[in-house]
């Protein structure tokens, strides 16, 4: 899980290589490990939408070229919103 978190936090370095960057964080186990349920149990794959959304938002902010997800409708809205915010110059600094 920590390796996946490190990769997500280092996406800018991958972008600088000039290669296209694809990230597939959707429902992955590292999301469950980094964000277990309140009782400490790991959420099932179908219950990782929030973590997936957070990972996709990080990807959008980093400017990755594509993300692979299961919940296409929800994530496409997130991507469009995030890109609009990022491109407006009013995003987080």
Tens-place pLDDT, residues 3-53: 999 999 999 999 999 999 999 999 999 999 999 999 999 999 999 999 999
- 67 phi, psi to nearest 5 deg: -125, 145
Instruction: Retrieve residue 37's tokens.
Output: 């349920």
Burial (CB count within 10 angstroms: exposed 0-12, middle 13-18, buried 19+), residue 61: middle
Q: What is the domain partition of the chain in residue ranges?
A: 2-88
- The whole-number pLDDT of residue 17 equals 95
Print burial letters for 29-48: b (CB count within 10 Å at least 16), e (below 16).
Answer: ebbbebeeeeeeeebeeeeb
Task: Round to whole Å and give the CA distance between 29 and 47.
Answer: 11
Q: Can you name the residues that pair with 22 across neighbouring β-strands? A: 66
Indicate yes or no: pTM above 0.75: yes
């Amino acid at each position: 899980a920590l390796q996946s978190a490190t990769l997500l936090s280092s996406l800018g370095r991958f972008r600088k290589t000039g290669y296209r960057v694809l990230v597939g964080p959707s429902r992955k186990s590292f999301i469950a490990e980094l964000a277990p349920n309140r009782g400490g149990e790991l959420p099932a794959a179908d219950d990782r939408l929030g973590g997936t959304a957070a990972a996709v938002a990080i990807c959008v902010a980093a400017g990755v070229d594509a993300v692979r997800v299961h919940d296409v409708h929800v994530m496409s809205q997130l991507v469009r919103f995030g890109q609009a915010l990022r491109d407006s110059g009013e995003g987080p600094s």
